[in-house]
Amino acid sequence: MAEVKITCPNCFSEDRCFESKMEIEDFSSYMCFKCGFTSNSLYKNDTETLEKAKESSTQLMQEISMYDYNRGIHWFPSILNMGKLGLIYPDGTKDNWVWKFASVRELSEEEQKDPKYEGNEFTLDMENAEVFGQHEFVDACRKMGVIKDID
């Protein structure tokens, strides 16, 4: 797999956006660590793959998705679920949205008895999620602990 830096069609970052190419299957995936948008070469208009991606996306994700005219594909904001490290997700409205990072916290013994937690020991702390700007996705990733830096 070859990875190259590209110019992001959403935020125009030239140093935080990457294309990963799988030469054998003629497939590329894309990720921008500045704006947090992602795509792949199968997200073309009128394809089943794009329709499935839209169906599994939130309303906000669909509203702020964008079309890349150069590559002929759609880009969506990422949802990064790293289990015990937490969750990064877009939140807000089409005209006023941010990235949020929800860490995982341990449930108290009393909370563990609550049927809504079904005996779990941990939960995502959505109520105290940290807020990051639209072009601060990489900062949310650093806070989560999944990256140190991108050179």
Report if residue 101 sits inside a domain: yes
The pLDDT of residue 116: 87
| Digit-coded pLDDT (tens) for 87-131 | 999 999 999 999 999 999 999 888 888 888 887 899 999 999 999
Q: Are 74 and 92 in contact (CB under 8 A)?
A: no
| Confidence grade of residue 149 (pLDDT, cut at 50, 70, 90) | low
Computed over its alpha carbons, how large is the radius of gyration of the chain?
17
Domain span at residue 90?
Answer: 80-144
Report if residue 73 sits inside a domain: yes
Q: Is the pLDDT of residue 150 over 60?
A: no
- CATH at 35: 2.20.25
| Digit-coded pLDDT (tens) for 133-146 | 999 999 999 999 98
Same domain? For 40 and 55 the reply is yes
The pLDDT of residue 119: 76
CA distance 15 to 90: 22
pTM to 2 decimal places: 0.86
| Digit-coded pLDDT (tens) for 23-42 | 777 899 999 999 999 999 99
